[in-house]
A and B are shown apart, each in its own frame.
Chain A
Amino acid sequence: MFKQINDSRAETVTVQLNGNEVRVVAGTTVAAVALTAGLSFTRTTPVSGARRAPFCMMGVCYDCLMIIDGQSGQRACMTYVKEGMRIECQQGAGLIPGESQ
């Protein structure tokens, strides 16, 4: 849906997005990464399984919840990428506590 205005001087980090390695600009949010990496959705809802993607981008809608570094229910728009971060789409209510995906 989105692309980044090119800034070749920008520092990058490598993260894992749904198991795939992606190089992203440092200092961006996980939500921005998801939207610029071509994901069409970032979670399915626990109520109906409907697909959702980041919506408000400022932490007030909780629609961008993803599993980040093994923890479900993380707001992707409020989380900034770090080297080696593992980012996954969240299905429904996420993980049974104590279990990893």
Chain B
Amino acid sequence: MMEADVLIIGAGLMGASAALHLSMRGYRCVVIDKASPGRHASGANAGGLRQLNRDPAEIPLAMESARMWHQIRDLVDSDCDARFPGQLRIAENAADMDKLEQRAALVRSLGYQHEEIIGKKELYQMVPALAPHCVGALVCRQDGFARPYHTLTAFRLKAESLGARFYADTEAYQMVQDGEGWQVRTSSGTFNSTFLINCAGAWAGKMAAMLGEPVPLQPKALMLMVTERLPHFVDPVMGAASRKLSFKQMQNGTLIIGGALVAKLDFEREKTDINWEQLMESADTVLHFFPQLKNVRIVRAWAGIEGFMPDNIPVISASGMNKNLYHAFGFSAHGFQLSPVIGRILSELIIDGRTPLPIEPFRIDRFNSAI
């Protein structure tokens, strides 16, 4: 039998972040994963650090996380290769601009300043390589990107240096409340802990159901493409007001292209298949904004398995049913930027019983009327 103060299911970004923050406050953590750390969404995502265009419920969390990102080296002894050239949502016409201006107004009315409208002149100063027909954009200047697997590794190594233990190839079969604590039977033996956290990504719904509080989590696989290396020609991360686009040039010169591109997924077999129709559409969109990229080669297309909630915001919450159980999952393809603050929130919930950040909208029982 193995003992810990906190047992964390899922060695992705959320699990590693939780392990770090709890370890920083002296709690012994064990993180288990049925595969290897970052095997799925946490290792396969586009690395975007985005506050721009979030659901208003997420904004306070994203802003706090952004502050942490800008000092990430202090937290995990690594800069995770983070860069902050800003992120844009590009408008191609007046209707797009209207849409963006409405969004900017909404964000201002909620008391936030991080999303600004810029006009044609500034847009082309920021992105001179852009096709000439665009009219403006919504920008968050502090946004950027980092390298997800490096980030996860940095969180894990720091947590391990503070005493956390990570067990790969360890699947949880049964989780039983043992008095006030938990007993978890896994493929690597039985663990006893006081607290249990469900950070199992696309499998968190399965875990939640096993724990008696099912949620409508839907696993989906989103695709990305990466190109050959190119000389540096674009700075900010790009999205579009009315097209599916997520486009950035990485530190090494490769382009990462995505934007809600859905692959075929056989969840039981954990098998993803590239949906070429979607990639064709995506390539067409990229060339619409950057026609000079037509001869650029795609070196690889892949898909990562992620968990999605019907309202597109995550579950971050104490259990509605069991004591000493907490959940953080369902990040719906935009969790990377939040990962530093999520771990801190979980540590605050466990140790202090509360967190200063507003997590009411992320309660696990918000779906109960729907089930």
Residues of A within 8 A of B (CB): 46, 71, 73, 92-98
Contact = CB atoms under 8 A, between A and B. Distances in A.
Interface string B278-305: 0000000000001011011100000000
A22 to B, nearest CB: 25
A97 B233 contact: yes
12 contacts: A46-B229, A46-B252, A46-B253, A71-B295, A73-B228, A92-B231, A93-B229, A93-B231, A96-B230, A97-B290, A97-B293, A97-B296
If over half of A's interface residues share one DSSP class (helix, strand or loop), that class is named, otherwise mixed; here it is loop
B231 A95 contact: yes
B176 interface: no
A26 B161 CA distance: 63
A97 B228 CA distance: 12
Nearest to A71: B295
Contacts of A96: 230-231, 233
Interface residues of B, number: 14
Interface in B206-250: 228-231, 233
Interface of B: 129, 228-231, 233, 252-253, 290, 292-293, 295-297
A71 B295 CA distance: 7
Contacts of B233: 96-97
A97 B292 CA distance: 6
A94 B252 CA distance: 13
B230 A93 contact: yes
Contact of B292 (A46, A73, A98): A98
A97 B130 CA distance: 12
B92 to A, nearest CB: 20
B129 A94 contact: no
A76 to B, nearest CB: 15
Contacts of B228: 73, 93
Contacts of A71: 295
Nearest to A95: B231
Contacts of A46: 229, 252-253
